[in-house]
């Protein structure tokens, strides 16, 4: 069996709207949307340059139903580049681009092999003695274990399974085509190309069971480098699995401790110090930062009274480090120091800080707050309240900000 290499990608999510980011800055959201396409274009270029034999895509090529044909035309254009280079493409559909979800179509080049949704099938690449096994999603929901019905491996060939699955151990992700590592191992394939989980993960090396991860981060829950993997095969065995980092924009979630800080200049310097390593790791890429300011500080009242101003100051501090660092959200988790509250004579018999402490963790209050937030979100026009970031924060953070604002104004 000759040596060859192939690319394993998944979760391209082409057409993702970046709705939460768009409410903050439509221009930055547009650049993130473009980054998803640019990341895939770079992946195609890397596959061509490496003379890959084929590319496999394990679902969620598209984020949802197309608004128009532009996304389909873009995908076709990139696949045509692979076709002209003699590189075949095998793909399955996942929960985001299931047959019942994405109903628009654009004819794809002859090098594309799409797996059916009715049942798992096998596609043979005779020249390489490679057998590809896979099944697309018919509907967004896929509660059954699809892998249990995948075909038996072809003896003497290199067998690859394409599967869009939550697999075991990834409870943070919605359950789709559930299975276990043990079940996949017993199938007898040489390599499992998995999709759906957006973190890159190697679940097993004998056989290789790999989540390639999302190609381009889509929210602050997907921080750090993103991409696909290049797999080298020699004498019928996997020789290496290496990451291909192709993302064009990144996310960062930073917490800056302002405990004891009394000067705003010092606070902004700490923000700059926290942003600097993020900018260095990004190597010139666009970065969206979610920033949390925490700790007991005399600045708490000033920040809570005018959060827009401190958000602008934080943005300016970030861009003093690098021009393409953008503040996606500012969370204020600061509070006045106890001594600052105690200096007011009228507070000697009234400890508001103690009264408010822990209220943001009271189950009944949290549930009432969630109901209020949901009610307000439901009244927003044009479906703006449909996603989790509709009001710009989680309920616990909103309660913490309300506490800081009350204490800050009392201190003032």
pLDDT given for residue 392 in this prediction: 45
Q: Of 196, 216, 245, which residue constitutes the final position of a domain?
A: 245
Whether residues 387 and 288 fall in one domain: yes
The boundaries of the domain holding residue 82 are: 4-245
Same domain, 125 and 264: no
Residue-wise pLDDT tens for the chain (412 aa)? Answer: 589 999 999 999 999 988 888 888 899 999 999 999 999 999 999 999 999 999 999 999 999 999 889 999 999 999 999 999 999 999 999 999 999 999 988 999 999 999 999 999 999 999 999 999 999 999 999 999 999 999 999 999 999 999 999 998 765 556 899 999 999 999 999 999 999 999 999 999 999 999 999 999 999 999 999 999 999 999 999 999 999 999 999 999 999 999 999 999 999 999 999 999 999 999 999 999 999 999 999 999 999 999 999 999 999 999 999 999 999 999 999 999 876 555 555 555 555 555 566 666 677 777 777 777 777 666 655 444 544 444 545 676 666 666 666 665 555 5
- Residues ≥6 apart with Cβ < 8 Å to 222: 198, 199, 214, 251
Residues 203 and 268 in one domain: no
Number of structural domains the chain divides into: 2
Q: Are 216 and 152 within one domain?
A: yes
How far, CA to CA in Å, does 7 sit from each of 45, 82, 90, 178, 244? 11, 12, 10, 24, 9
188 plus 295 within the same structural domain: no
- Same domain for 159 and 253, yes or no, is no
- Mark whether 54 and 32 lie in a shared domain: yes
Task: Clarify whether residues 56 and 175 are in a common domain.
Answer: yes
pLDDT at residue 383, as a whole number: 45
Q: For position 42, which CATH number holds?
A: 3.60.21.10
Residues 267 and 400 in one domain: yes
Residue 105, classified by CB atoms within 10 Å of its CB into exposed (0-12), middle (13-18) or buried (19+), is exposed
Q: Are residues 75 and 202 in the same domain?
A: yes
pLDDT of residue 1: 58
Q: Cα–Cα distance between 8 and 229 in angstroms, integer?
A: 5
The predicted pLDDT at position 364 comes to 75
For 141, residues 6+ apart whose C-beta sits below 8 A from its C-beta are: 95, 176
Same domain, 220 and 286: no
Q: Which of 245, 279, 310 is the last residue of a domain?
A: 245
Of 245, 264, 291, the last residue of a domain is 245
What is the rounded end-to-end Cα distance, in angstroms, of the chain?
Answer: 77
Q: Are residues 240 and 254 in the same domain?
A: no
């Amino acid at each position: 069996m000759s040596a060859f290499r192939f690319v394993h990608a998944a979760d391209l999510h082409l057409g993702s709207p970046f709705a939460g980011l768009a409410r903050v800055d439509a221009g930055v959201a547009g650049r993130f949307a473009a980054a998803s396409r640019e990341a895939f274009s770079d992946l195609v270029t890397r596959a061509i340059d490496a003379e890959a034999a084929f590319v496999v895509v394990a679902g969620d090529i598209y984020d949802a139903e197309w608004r128009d044909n532009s996304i389909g035309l873009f995908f076709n254009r990139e696949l045509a580049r692979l076709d002209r280079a003699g590189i075949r493409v095998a793909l399955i559909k996942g929960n985001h681009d299931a047959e019942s979800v994405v109903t628009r179509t654009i004819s794809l080049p002859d090098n594309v092999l799409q797996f059916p949704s009715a049942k798992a099938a096998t596609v043979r690449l005779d020249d390489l003695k490679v057998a590809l096994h896979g099944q697309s999603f018919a509907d967004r929901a896929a509660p059954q274990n699809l892998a249990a019905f995948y075909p038996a491996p072809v003896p003497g060939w290199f067998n690859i399974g394409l599967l869009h699955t939550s697999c075991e151990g990834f409870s943070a992700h919605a359950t789709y085509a559930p299975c276990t590592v043990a079940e996949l191992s017993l199938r007898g394939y040489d390599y499992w190309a998995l999709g759906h989980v957006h973190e890159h993960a190697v679940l097993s090396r004998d056989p290789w069971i790999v989540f390639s991860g999302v190609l381009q981060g889509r929210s602050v829950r997907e921080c750090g480098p993103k991409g696909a993997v290049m797999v080298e095969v020699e004498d019928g065995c996997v020789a290496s699995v290496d990451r291909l980092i192709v993302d064009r924009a990144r996310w960062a979630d930073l917490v800056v401790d302002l405990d004891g800080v009394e000067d705003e200049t010092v606070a902004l310097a700490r923000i700059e110090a926290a942003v600097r390593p993020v900018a260095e790791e990004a190597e010139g890429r666009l970065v969206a930062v979610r920033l949390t300011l925490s700790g007991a500080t005399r600045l708490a009242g000033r920040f809570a009274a005018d959060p827009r101003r401190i958000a602008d100051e934080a943005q300016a501090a970030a861009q003093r480090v690098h021009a393409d660092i953008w503040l996606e959200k500012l969370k204020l988790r600061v509070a006045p120091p106890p001594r600052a509250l105690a200096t007011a004579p009228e507070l000697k018999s009234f400890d508001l800080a103690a009264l408010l402490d822990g209220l943001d963790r009271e189950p009944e209050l949290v549930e009432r707050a969630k109901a209020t937030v949901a009610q307000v979100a439901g009244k927003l026009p044009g479906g703006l309240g449909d996603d989790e970031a509709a009001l710009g924060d989680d309920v616990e953070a909103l309660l913490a900000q309300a506490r800081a604002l009350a204490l800050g104004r009392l201190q003032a």
